[in-house]
Structure 1
Amino acid sequence: MELIIQKNYFFNKLKKILSMFFNDKLALISIIFLSFMVFLALFGPSLINESFTKMNLRLRNLEPFSFEHNFMYFFGADALGRSMIARLIIATQNTMFIAASAVVLSMTLGGMLGLVSGYFGGKTGNLIMRIADIIMSFPSLLLAVIVLYMFDPGLLNLVLVLAFTRMPIYMRTARAEVLEIRERLFVSAAISMGASNTRIIFKHIAPLTIPTLITIATLDFAFVMLGESALSFLGVGIQPPEVTWGLMVAQGRNYLQLAWWLAFFPGLIIMLVALSLNLFSSWLRIVLDPRQRWRLQNIGDKNE
């Protein structure tokens, strides 16, 4: 009986979320597009086989939207005759992997430091916040360029420097949330019952801060992706033969008058992914906030 009740509760909750999701058409379009990009990042490279590195000098700078060749050349070819579709798929995997790794790492470390700073306060909390202030005092892109110029601009260093520059956002957000949550009655009750600080932080406080951090992470994903593209464009990001959207734009800028599509298509994808992430994060912020959730629910009631 309890299992049936739990299943009904789960399906009702899922139905309510889906109804709010379908009531926001822009969010629906954005998540469909983002799901397609994630699918390409996960399974695309296995579908194109060796098309990514296959060169055909006879097809150098092949114009897009041509039906004279197979589908892999529908978006044209680059200066070495490589398929633009294949290169865009590989760039999707690399760009999204770097951005996702940096966001998860910065959210995890920054969130934990913010929890500690907000709960304990005192000298420990002030020290953590001063570290965040020092990091934020430097322009993130300039700091990343300097670090990657001094060290090897490899995948690991790129992820670490992007995560490091984005940590203060999560530190400040988590600390602000904890300062409000720790004054609630259930935290006081846990303390009076002898619960340890670790249990209070990770069992009672952290779950309430995660929705806010996830919303910020969704929006921050677009910023990190743009940062990675900018670093690759400047030549201190991923190096050939690997490729990202930013690197494709950088390689295509020398052919803008001769082959505009080399820079146009990766730039278009960057813009669409960033726009979709912003629309989805706006929807997620409304859904996770009970004070604003009524907007989507009222739309559903009117449609019924």
Structure 2
Amino acid sequence: METQAAQKRASRIPLPFKLLFRDPLAGAAAVFLIIVTACAIIAPMLIGHLAEAPNFRARNMAPFSLEQGFAYILGADTLGRSLLARLAVGARNTLGIAAIAVMCSLLIGGTLGLIAGYSRGWLGNAIMRATDIVMSFPSLLLALIVLFSLGPSIPNLILVLAITRVPIYLRTTRAEVLEVRERMFVSAATALGASDLRLIFSHIAPMVLPTVLTIGAIDFATVVLAESSLSFLGLGIQAPAFTWGSMVATGRGYLANAWWVAFWPGLAILLTTLSLNILSSWWRTYADPHQRWRLELGKKERK
């Protein structure tokens, strides 16, 4: 009876979660990202005030000490501010900026890709030529030019991150549309008198969306690294606000006597991008029906 009850409980678990947590590496990456996201949402409400409040008694406090309380378990910076609190607030800023930039680039690039793929006239060619111009510039160089011209701020940072990633979604969407628009159900809808907008957004877009979302999940780690790089160079978010990249920039001058100031945000960037890459690679395999058998095979071998 207990075995049957356990089997019934297991059958109620969605298949993606079953396969995910049977892969130790992908499961660990998912758990880490859940913890980071939860800390980014909840922790600033609890200890966020310590991220900007100086505490000169705790200046350059070494990590793993509870003299000033648990909030200082990872140490303190040169002004005595809790690194744990700053990591939580920095996670909210870093992940929030990256998420908004990815959503904007996905929306803009996906929409333009639908138009470029469906249109057979000058409009599609014009969109692709404009995309070629954007891609001709190295993304980091383009970001530096735009931020130097407009000035560093959160809206400008999101704008430049979105613009540099738009060509990826545009070209991917266009390639998918070129294949989907030749299928029989699109021809049938055209014969029944469906308008171009109905064909694009009701028939073609739902077929393309899973691929674009997979690209977005893969691209999220790249945007996090790009944002951290720009903040490290001083062209991202400006004080008193901060991200993980600006925390690393603040701590680089104290590596000799307070290495932990730069180490913890650098480690957070490393583990977050690594987890995102591992999880997106797993999702790419799961989302492809022709590759999903690899996950199923691993499940059977463990049995």
Corresponding residue for residue 165 of structure 1: 164
2:131 aligned residue: 132
Look up the match of 1:205.
Answer: 204
The whole-number CA distance in structure 1 between the counterparts of 2:170 and 2:299 is 36
1:237-294 deviations in whole A, cap 9, x for unaligned? 1111111000000010000111101111000000000000101111111111000011
The CA deviation at 1:25 is: 1.6
Aligned to 1:64: 63
Report the TM-score when normalising by structure 1. Answer: 0.94
How far apart are residue 12 of structure 1 and its match? 6.4
> What is the aligned partner in structure 2 of residue 5 from structure 1?
none
Residues paired across the two proteins, number: 294
Residue type of the alignment partner of 1:120: S
Q: Which residue of 2 aligns with 1:302?
A: 301
- How many Å apart are 1:22 and its aligned residue? 2.0
- Mapped pair 1:148 → 2:111: no
1:100 alignment partner in structure 2: 99
Q: Which residue of 2 aligns with 1:6?
A: none
Name the CA distance, whole Å, in 2 between partners of 1:282 and 1:73: 35
CA contact (8 A) 2:58 2:68 kept: no
CA apart distance, 1:300? 1.9
> Which residues of structure 1 form unaligned runs of 5+?
1-10
1:24 and 2:23 correspond: yes
Distance in 2 between the 1:225 and 1:238 partners?
13
User: Which secondary structure state, in structure 2, belongs to the residue aligned with residue 32 of structure 1?
Assistant: helix
One-letter code of the match for 1:198? Answer: L
* Deviation of the 1:122 alpha carbon: 2.4
CA–CA distance in 2 between the matches of 1:19 and 1:59? 46
Query: Helix, strand or coil for the counterpart of 2:50?
Result: coil
Task: Supply the RMSD in Å over aligned alpha carbons.
Answer: 1.4
Report what 2:233 is aligned to.
Answer: 234
Counterpart residue type for residue 135 of structure 2 = M
Deviations 1:184-240 (A, max 9, x none): 111111111111111111111111111111111111111111111111111111111
Unmatched 5+ stretches in structure 2: 1-9
Structure 2 distance, partners of 1:63, 1:13, is 47
Match of 1:42? 41
1:292 maps to: 291
1:15 deviation in Å?
A: 2.7
CA displacement at 1:26 relative to structure 2: 1.2
- Give yes or no for the alignment of 1:119 onto 2:157: no
Q: Matched residue of 1:215: which SS?
A: helix
Output the TM-score relative to the length of structure 2: 0.94
Structure 1 residue 74: Cα displacement: 0.8
Matched ranges for 1:222-261 at <5 A: 222-261=221-260
CA displacement at 1:178 relative to structure 2: 0.4
**1:214 and 2:213 correspond:** yes
Alignment-mate amino acid for residue 112 of structure 1: T
Instruction: Provide the C-alpha distance between the structure 2 equivalents of 1:278 and 1:142, rounded to a whole number of angstroms.
Output: 24
Give 1:49 shift: 4.3
- Counterpart-to-counterpart distance in 1, 2:162 and 2:276: 18
**Rounded Cα–Cα distance in structure 1 between residues aligned with 2:110 and 2:12:** 28
Deviations 1:67-94, CA, capped at 9 Å, x for gaps: 3231111111001010000111110000
Could you say which residue in structure 1 is the equivalent of 2:3? none
Aligned in 2, Cα 1:238/1:181: closer, same or farther, shift over 3 Å? same
Deviations 1:92-139 (A, max 9, x none): 000001000000000000001001100113211111111111111111
Asked if the contact 2:48/2:88 (under 8 Å) is kept, the reply is no
> Are 2:147 and 2:235, in contact at CA under 8 Å, matched by a contact in 1?
yes
The runs of 4+ residues in structure 1 deviating greater than 4 Å are 11-14
Residue pair 1:19, 1:300 contacting (<8 A) in 2 also? no
Q: Quick check: 1:59–1:81 contact (8 Å CA) kept in 2?
A: yes
Q: C-alpha separation between the residues in 1 aligned to 2:204 and 2:192?
A: 16
Q: Which amino acid aligns with 1:101?
A: I
**Aligned residue identity for 1:260:** W
* Amino acid in structure 2 at the alignment position of 1:179: L
1:136-169 deviation per Cα after TM superposition (whole angstroms, max 9, x unaligned): 1111111111111121311111101100110000
* Rounded Cα–Cα distance in structure 2 between residues aligned with 1:192 and 1:14: 42
